[in-house]
Structure 1
Amino acid sequence: MGNRTFTLSEANELLPELQEDLRQLQQLTATFEDKYVEYQKEKAAYEQASASAKGLKDPFFEQESQLEFMKMEADLLIDNFSRKGVLLKMINPGLIDFPAVLNGEEILICWKEGEEQISHYHGLHDGFVGRKPYPHE
């Protein structure tokens, strides 16, 4: 595990900021997916229609550039979670783990999108299915 560990109260204090970061990332990935599907359809139709027309300028440069820029932006947003010391496990639905220590054991305090606050944890190798209520601090 990394150097930073959280108490339950520290994790809950950081949660609103992380929820906003997650919301931005979810919006960006949804937009990216829509644009990528549109791009794939247009490119396939173009290639089929112009299979005989060689040497034409690629009309998809701008779309490809936008997609690449969106990917870089998403990568930066994902990296923000790591820089804050937390583990982004899933984007949709949002799932975030906070490294912590409980009774001398390394654990992960976990939050799932839709929960108002963080109240569960699991062992490092238990995953989400091994969630248990966090004892009161």
Structure 2
Amino acid sequence: MSEAYENRGSISGGERKIYLSLEDANALIPRIEPLVRRMVNLARDLQARYERLSAIPAARRERHPLYKDELANIEAGIQRDFERLKEWVEELASLGAITKSPVEGIIDFYSQYGGRDIFLCWRLGEPQIEFWHEIDAGFAGRRPVCELFESSAT
């Protein structure tokens, strides 16, 4: 796992898998951290606004024309911010950072180990990538990256 490379094959929707070494992914953290921080703040704000909007009964919305206009403006703002969030997720993906949770700031990076795909896993607030997991394991299956080097030394 020493150099970055890109597989130009399509995953879904024309996206590309970008494989990064641990060193390359760690070098990317300072570059993506400000964007991930903004993404987390916006995602949490969107979640809160959507929950408040969903708590208003539909019958109440439709009976009051004043609410109808105000709610339409709120919904339009949510949609605009959701589109911005999608753009940031796409920007991160173009660098090789896969957003797993915009609310929690969980980012995975494709890598390879032992001839198989794995994810290097980083969460906003962590100083560097300290964990990895199998592609299908998810955040709960995170394991220390030092395991990757210990098993290759034997």
Question: Same fold, TM exceeding 0.5?
Answer: yes
Higher relative contact order (CA 8 A, sep 6+): 1
**Aligned-residue RMSD, C-alpha:** 2.9
Q: Does 1:35 align with 2:35?
A: no
- State the partner residue of 1:132: 143
Counterparts in 2 of 1:8 and 1:32: CA distance versus 1, 3 Å? same
Percent pairwise identity: 24
Q: What secondary structure is seen at the aligned counterpart in 2 of 1:99?
A: strand
- State the partner residue of 1:114: 125
* Cα offsets for 1:13-56 (capped at 9, x unmatched): 111222211111122123323433454549764534x3xx7xx8
Q: TM-score, normalised by structure 1?
A: 0.76
Q: Does 1:5 align with 2:19?
A: yes
**Structure with the greater alpha carbon radius of gyration:** 1
- State the partner residue of 1:20: 34
How many correspondences in the alignment? 132
Equivalent of 1:65, from 62, 76, 98? 76
* Cα offsets for 1:78-135 (capped at 9, x unmatched): 2222222221111232211110112322211111233211122122222233322224
Separation of aligned partners in 1, 2:140 and 2:62: 46
Separation of aligned partners in 2, 1:96 and 1:84: 12
The structure where strand makes up a greater share of residues is 2
Question: Structure 1 segments of 4 or more deviating over 4 A?
Answer: 37-40, 42-46
Q: TM-score, normalised by structure 2?
A: 0.69
Separation of aligned partners in 1, 2:127 and 2:67: 52
